Chains A and B, each alone.
Chain A
Amino acid sequence: MGSAMGGLRTTGDLVAWMQMSRKMKINDAKQYVAKKLGVEVIDLTDEEKMLELREELDIGTIISMSGGSKGIQAKCKIAKLLDIEINSVNLFKANIRDFI
């Protein structure tokens, strides 16, 4: 974990999604995420910047924000932000399509 991205503390989940969904190597995945977030690659593991950005985008934060997105709600926003398919999100949207 000492060499890991830090998950929700920073952007580890977002970079992981790009490796999984587009088979991206680590540098390509980071550049893709950085571009989508409008930041530099080095910022992706900057806890201060990423906490503020994740809160602003409402895509889930490591600190529990009352009323803030987490879980499937956050993943819906992440799928849209990264322009990727997430199976759980697709199922969730299909299940509620008559209500949105």
Chain B
Amino acid sequence: MHNQVMTHLGDGGRIMMTKDEIAEDIIRGTNDASDRAQIPSLTKEEREQLLDIFCEPGRIVSVSPGEEVVVTDDSCSMTYYADQENSGMGIPMSRPTAILNWERAACGDTCCMGHNDFSYKPAKAVIHYEANEYYSTSQTTTIPMFYGSQPNMGLYFRPDGPFDNPAELLPIGKIDEARQAQLDAKQQLKSDLVYIGKELNQVGCEAMNFDTSGSAGDADMAAALEAVRELKKIAPNMYMELGMASEFVLGMHGKIFFEDTRLAGLYPHQLVKVAEAAGVDIFGPTVNVNTTETTPWNLSRSVTMVKATAEVANIPIHPNVGMGVCGVPLYEVPPIGAVTRASKSLVQIGMADGL
């Protein structure tokens, strides 16, 4: 076991690696990110810094005093009362109580309320209930309180929604019909996001989080960006966070633009500039995790893309560090050693402003 370092696979499984093996995976990971996103690889010094973080003997690692960052979340307080579907603990507890626990027991820097489905479409149907509970809870919270959910355009297609399903149209060659269905859904989604934002602004909503934007592709991302732009005009003091669903915008349509930029295929360092133009206040880059690769490979890849994003961003960036993104293994109880190493390296090397 001499010279062996304990780390994890991307699926959370514990493995032992030599220092040389970790160094090799760090090189492979950063080069993969460089090739895919057309960005610089980590420097020799940065790779050595990342290697040192992996080789720290402690089970848990952290940044040095003075380097701490702000944490925003996608309704982490929901995990108190939700079930396995939301990686929840199933405690019989109300949503406002969970949020106050998050503020005063977990000591979050910010907190977030969201619909249990964590999608905006079902939230729209009960928006007055949601707005009422947001209002009453925001009277008791001291830390900034977001209302968050996912744009989740997939819910707008049959059988869940009114529009033809592109996933059914594309395999049978109905390309134009699939594109039109996405444009129709995009318009409805944008309209719903703006409607919900207006309702929440009426009750003094402090901030909104468009979490996992682009999960249904470029039309989904366009709806979120257009909604942000419109809401910033209507409610300039309701601050907006937008996070990605995957490391590049999926081109399910392929020809959708925001202003002059085609959205399909944009990596975080490119999308952040579009987000800035839309009026986003905090941007959440995402980097996918490969479950069959090691955490050194995955995290090296993630740090490379996040660093490239931080270097061009004029707004704060909070990389997503949930399970299965930005180096955190895809497992519903993520190993704490991998989570804390992801946090430390994304801050120290990736220059993240938050997590």
B65–A71 touching, CB < 8 Å: no
Q: How many A-B residue pairs have CB under 8 A?
A: 153
Instruction: Write out the residue numbers on chain B whose beta carbons fall within 8 Å of the beta carbon of A6.
Output: 68, 107, 109
Instruction: Chain A residues near B192: list those with CB within 8 A.
Output: none
Q: Mark A4-39, 1 if CB is under 8 A from B, else 0.
A: 111111001101110111011110010000000000
Q: Are A7 and B108 in contact (CB under 8 A)?
A: yes
Q: Decide yes or no: A87 and B238 within 8 Å by CB, A4-B69, A13-B142 being known contacts.
A: yes
A12 touches B71 (CB 8 A): yes
Do A87 and B70 touch (CB < 8 A)? no
Partner among A16, A25, A45, A71 whose Cβ is within 8 Å of the Cβ of B141: A71
Determine the distance from Cα of A68 to Cα of B204 in the docked complex, in whole angstroms.
23
Shortest CB–CB separation between residue A92 and chain B, in angstroms? 7
* Residues B340 and A3 in contact, CB atoms below 8 Å apart: yes
Interface 0/1 of A34-48, CB less than 8 Å to B: 000000011001000
Q: A12-B71, A26-B354, A91-B203 are in contact. Are A2 and B60 (CB under 8 A)?
A: yes
Residues of B within 8 A of A65 (CB): none
The answer, yes or no, to whether B237 is at the interface (CB within 8 Å) is: yes
User: Which of A1, A13, A62, A88 lies in contact with B110, CB distance below 8 A?
Assistant: A13
Most central of B108, B315, B340 by chain A CB within 10 Å: B108
B103-125 CB contacts (< 8 Å) to partner A: 103-104, 106-110
Contact A12 B314 (CB under 8 A): no
Q: Which residues of A contact B70 (CB under 8 A)?
A: 4-5, 12, 15-16, 19, 26, 29
Question: B32 interface residue, CB < 8 Å from A?
Answer: no
A74 is an interface residue with CB less than 8 A from chain B: yes
B interface secondary structure, majority: loop
CA–CA, A60 and B237, complex, Å: 22
Complex contacts, B142 vs chain A, CB 8 Å: 8, 13, 59-60, 70-71, 74-75, 78
Count chain B residues whose beta carbon lies closer than 8 angstroms to a beta carbon of A.
52
Evaluate whether A72 and B138 lie within 8 angstroms (CB atoms) in the complex, with A16-B70, A88-B204 already known: yes
Contacting residue for B353 out of A4, A19, A72, CB 8 A: A19
Pick the contact of A2 from B140, B205, B340 — CB < 8 Å? B340
Q: Mark A54-81, 1 if CB is under 8 A from B, else 0.
A: 0000011010100000111011001000
Contact between B69 and A3 (Cβ–Cβ < 8 Å)? yes
Contact of B104 among A8, A29, A74 (CB under 8 A): A8
Cα distance, A24 to B299, chains bound together (Å): 26
| B residues near A26, Cβ cutoff 8 Å | 69-70, 316, 352-354
Say yes or no for B298: interface residue by CB 8 A criterion: no
Q: Quick one: given A20-B239, A25-B316, A87-B206, are A9 and B107 in contact (CB under 8 Å)?
A: yes
Known contacts A12-B68, A72-B138; 11 further A-B pairs (Cβ under 8 A): A4-B68, A4-B108, A5-B71, A5-B109, A7-B106, A12-B70, A15-B109, A16-B110, A24-B316, A64-B104, A87-B205
Supply 20 A–B pairs (Cβ within 8 Å), ascending by A. Answer: A3-B67, A3-B68, A3-B69, A4-B68, A8-B103, A9-B107, A13-B110, A13-B142, A19-B70, A19-B281, A19-B353, A19-B354, A20-B239, A25-B353, A26-B352, A70-B140, A78-B142, A87-B238, A88-B145, A91-B203
